[in-house]
């Protein structure tokens, strides 16, 4: 073994321990950083060719690897916009240049435009419900937009969907004069109920729904616009019915048979077509009962509260008590998370070793769930890092002693010439 080789080995040892100390310093500095993933330093040997009868020292090399796949402990907060992922996956955020990035740091708060921004200034991206139920783009970031959770403008939602549960008395008498298509003041009907719906401007539209028994196990259902009714009575209406249909029932079960419609298509005046689900309508030997009536839509109102579910759905709760889907936050995943490249701001980008990004939704396809009102803590354990720092310090000192000894031997060799 040459004295020079010994000194070279000592230097590589000091460099390795210096790299370990650098990783430890980063870990300790980020012990309170939300979503931070700790680094570990891996050592591997350097071996040079051995000569017969002698030993040539090699050295050591180090590789720093971030343990991105480690799950941090969740701590709960009082802010519903704080988000954490319990399980695998990443949030997709947008940097200042509009480029999508990956992160686990979910400390989001609304900015001046109502967009959710985390502590590093990155905007949370999601799919909007403006064009209906969104679907994740599996192999790209197309369709993602910044998530906005505050809206000061008033929004009116017209009624499009509804349901009502009705029981029609099987012992009711058959009407001699069923509800006509015209506005006849002498009309007879068996039962009546009313539903609240909304037009495109958010105005309330009351719908009068009439049920008339026209034959055994057969009922006619007719819907009118209440605004056209005669004050205090109903009939005659200013115009004919909005829709009319016939319900037929199985006399042995009281349930609608296969020939009966299961929904009513009602054109709401000034609004859209309301599809009213009537599948739970029955004909049993008890009085008329209308229950479980729900119709979507709302009067002009602003969002008062935002709710975020485990599946990433962001719902806006309005002043009138109605809710509306606004956005859905996707979950990004890669084949090898520990091979991602870390960048400033606690974000990650893909590499050749990590694999490409695949998008999906929470609780689907192996993705974790989203927890609202929680943050993922750093995976750094201070006690472990301090222990490793002491070990690295001692090992560095030991390697420096090797170098110092080599230096002293070199000086001895030089002095032999004197």
Place of tokens 């002009």: 300
Hey, CA dihedral for 181, 183, 187, 193, is it positive or negative? positive
Query: Is the bond into 236 cis (omega within 30 degrees of 0)?
Result: yes
pTM over 0.85: no
Rounded mean pLDDT, 74-91: 94
The total of other beta-carbon atoms located within 10 Å of residue 40's CB is 16
Q: Can you give the pLDDT at residue 51?
A: 65
Give the domain ranges of the chain.
3-67+379-415, 77-151+308-376, 156-300
- At 183-207, the pLDDT tens digits run 554 567 899 999 999 999 999 999 9
| Angle, vertex CA 243, rays to CA 240 and CA 249, nearest 5 | 130
Classify residue 405 by burial, with Cβ atoms within 10 Å: 0-12, 13-18, 19+. Answer: middle
φ and ψ of 16, to 5 deg: -60, -45
The whole-angstrom separation of Cα 172 and Cα 191 is 10
| Angle, vertex CA 7, rays to CA 2 and CA 11, nearest 5 | 145
CATH topology of domain 156-300: Tick-borne Encephalitis virus Glycoprotein; domain 1 (2.60.98)
DSSP calls for 255-278? BB-TTS-SEEEEE-TTS-EEEEE-
Contact status, residue 116 vs residue 149, Cβ threshold 8 Å: yes
What pLDDT band is residue 310 in, cutting at 50, 70 and 90?
very high
| Coil vs helix vs strand at 300 | strand
> Given phi > 0 = left and psi -120 to 50 = alpha, else beta, which region is 363?
left
- At 281-299, the pLDDT tens digits run 999 999 999 999 999 888 8
Q: Can you give the pLDDT at residue 157?
A: 84
């Amino acid at each position: 073994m040459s004295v020079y080789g010994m000194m070279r080995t000592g230097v590589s040892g000091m460099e390795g321990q210096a790299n370990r100390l650098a990783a430890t310093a980063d870990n300790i500095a980020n012990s309170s950083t939300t979503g931070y993933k700790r680094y570990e330093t891996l050592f591997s040997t350097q071996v040079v060719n051995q000569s017969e009868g002698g030993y040539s020292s090699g050295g050591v090399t180090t590789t720093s690897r971030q343990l991105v796949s480690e799950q941090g402990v969740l701590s709960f907060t009082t802010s519903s916009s704080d988000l954490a992922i319990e399980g695998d996956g990443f949030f997709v955020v947008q940097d200042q240049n509009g480029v999508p990035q990956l992160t686990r740091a979910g400390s989001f708060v609304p900015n001046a435009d109502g967009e959710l921004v985390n502590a590093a200034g990155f905007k949370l991206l999601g799919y909007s419900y403006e064009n209906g139920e969104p679907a994740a783009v599996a192999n790209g970031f197309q369709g993602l937009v910044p998530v906005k959770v505050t809206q000061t403008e008033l929004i009116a939602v017209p009624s499009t969907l509804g349901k009502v549960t009705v029981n029609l008395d099987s012992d009711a008498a058959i009407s001699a004069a069923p509800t006509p298509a015209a506005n006849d003041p002498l009309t007879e009907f068996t039962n009546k109920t009313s539903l609240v719906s909304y037009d495109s401007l958010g105005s309330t539209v009351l719908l009068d729904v009439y049920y008339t028994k026209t034959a055994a196990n057969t009922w006619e259902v007719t819907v009118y616009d209440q605004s056209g009714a005669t004050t205090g009575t109903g009939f005659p209406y200013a115009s004919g019915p909005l829709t009319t249909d016939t319900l037929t029932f199985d006399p042995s079960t009281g349930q609608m048979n296969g020939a009966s419609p299961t929904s009513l298509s009602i054109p709401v005046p000034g609004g859209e077509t309301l599809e009213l689900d009537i599948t739970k309508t029955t004909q049993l030997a008890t009085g008329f009962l209308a229950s479980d009536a729900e119709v979507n839509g709302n009067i002009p109102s602003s969002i008062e509260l935002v709710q975020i579910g485990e599946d990433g759905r962001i719902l806006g709760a309005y002043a009138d008590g109605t809710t509306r889907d606004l956005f859905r936050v996707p979950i990004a995943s890669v084949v090898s998370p520990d091979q991602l490249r870390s960048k400033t701001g606690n974000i990650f980008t893909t590499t050749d070793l990590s694999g490409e990004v695949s998008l999906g939704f929470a609780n689907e396809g192996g993705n974790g769930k989203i927890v609202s009102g929680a943050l993922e803590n750093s995976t750094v354990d201070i006690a472990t890092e301090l222990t490793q720092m002491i070990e690295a310090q001692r090992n560095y000192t030991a390697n420096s002693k090797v170098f110092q000894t080599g230096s002293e031997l070199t000086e001895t060799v030089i002095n032999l010439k004197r």
